[in-house]
């Protein structure tokens, strides 16, 4: 699909990882609009005020973003694609043109998203004099540092944030694990033609009988379909009852409609979130 002049909503401000994933996926000839929470993304897309939304669904280190699994269950949107963004964290501060071993001594506080702070723990442990402060997101912390213009304050954010907010890169690639990816879903409430789809995401509930999960998933094993993710989430209105979220990759020569019809016979309810082309990790 080619995109131009589309309205795309994401969480955060310019320079956030969601913004970068959206820009990489859709291209720069579109309109990117940031909001302050994930639920607003789903509301804007469901109401068709926005053409697309981009939401993080899981991180290779931190795991699933449960809030967005719940939002997928709640809102009437479709998953039309996915994108994997490699996460590289940078230490940023206002420009001072000092060597790092001197510059780091001035820093008293570092702002960032809680997960970013957690993912840079080994680096931060080297500097116990610095207070770590959780903030709404990485790009917002970069914007804050730029606005405060204080040499004692720094942030952890993307490389792009240094350009956007006129900050200096103090340290590069400070994440503990270089194999750090976030997977994003592209969502829409409009119909889109997907070329060569090979992946699906569905939500379902099960009857409370022995072997119900096994019986439901057995059909995928019978057709040699690879489940790439399975997660259970509580249903707030029904204490101690759960819905299940699964992703699976299917070969092009398979009768997916038949498999889903057979699967429906084994479950109480099913919601097909989307059938789309799998993304690549680069």
| pLDDT the model gives residue 243 | 96
| pLDDT the model gives residue 281 | 85
Q: Domain for residue 193, yes or no?
A: no
| pLDDT the model gives residue 19 | 97
| pLDDT the model gives residue 43 | 98
Q: Domain for residue 223, yes or no?
A: yes
| pLDDT the model gives residue 4 | 87
**What are the pLDDT tens digits along the chain (282 aa)?**
678 899 999 999 999 999 999 999 999 899 999 999 999 999 999 999 999 999 999 999 989 999 999 999 999 999 999 999 999 999 999 999 899 999 999 999 999 999 999 999 999 999 999 999 999 999 999 999 999 999 999 999 999 999 999 999 999 999 999 999 999 999 999 889 898 999 999 999 999 899 999 999 999 999 999 999 999 999 988 899 999 999 999 998 899 999 999 999 999 999 999 999 999 987
Q: Domain for residue 207, yes or no?
A: yes
Q: Domain for residue 214, yes or no?
A: yes
| Whole-structure pTM value | 0.93
Number of domains in the chain: 3
| pLDDT the model gives residue 208 | 87
Q: Domain for residue 282, yes or no?
A: no
| pLDDT the model gives residue 228 | 97
Q: Are residues 166 and 213 in the same domain?
A: no
Q: Domain for residue 237, yes or no?
A: yes
Q: Are residues 207 and 70 in the same domain?
A: no
Q: Are residues 206 and 165 in the same domain?
A: no
Q: Are residues 36 and 17 in the same domain?
A: yes
Any idea which residues carry the catalytic annotation?
Answer: 182, 184
Q: Are residues 12 and 75 in the same domain?
A: yes
Q: Are residues 160 and 220 in the same domain?
A: no
Q: Is 117 exposed, middle or buried (0-12, 13-18, 19+ CB in 10 A)?
A: buried
| pLDDT the model gives residue 1 | 60
| pLDDT the model gives residue 264 | 96
Domain that holds residue 63: 7-87+180-188
CATH classification at residue 220: 3.30.70.260
């Amino acid at each position: 699909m080619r995109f131009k002049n589309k309205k795309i909503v994401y969480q955060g401000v310019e320079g956030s990882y969601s913004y970068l994933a959206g820009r990489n996926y859709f291209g720069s000839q579109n309109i990117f609009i940031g909001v302050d929470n994930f639920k607003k993304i789903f509301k804007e897309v469901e109401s068709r005020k926005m053409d697309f939304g981009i939401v993080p669904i899981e991180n290779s280190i931190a795991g699933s973003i449960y809030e967005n699994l719940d939002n997928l269950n709640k809102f009437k949107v479709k998953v039309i694609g996915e994108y994997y963004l490699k996460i590289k964290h940078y230490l940023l501060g206002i420009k001072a043109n000092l060597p790092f071993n001197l510059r780091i001594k001035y820093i008293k506080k570092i702002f960032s998203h809680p997960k970013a702070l957690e993912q840079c723990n080994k680096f931060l442990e080297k500097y116990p004099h610095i207070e770590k402060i959780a903030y709404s997101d990485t790009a917002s912390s970069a914007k804050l540092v730029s606005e405060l213009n204080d040499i004692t304050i720094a942030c952890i954010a993307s490389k792009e944030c240094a350009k956007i907010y006129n900050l200096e890169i103090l340290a590069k690639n400070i994440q503990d694990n270089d194999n750090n990816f976030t997977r994003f879903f592209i969502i829409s409430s409009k119909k889109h033609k997907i070329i060569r789809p090979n992946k699906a995401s569905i939500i379902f509930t099960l009857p409370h009988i022995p072997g119900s999960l096994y019986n439901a998933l057995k059909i995928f094993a019978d057709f040699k379909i690879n489940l790439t993710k399975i997660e259970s989430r509580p249903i707030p209105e029904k204490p101690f009852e759960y819905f299940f979220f699964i992703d699976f990759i299917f070969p092009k020569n398979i009768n997916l409609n038949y498999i889903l019809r057979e699967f429906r016979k084994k479950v109480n309810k099913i919601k097909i979130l989307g059938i789309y082309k799998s993304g690549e990790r680069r």
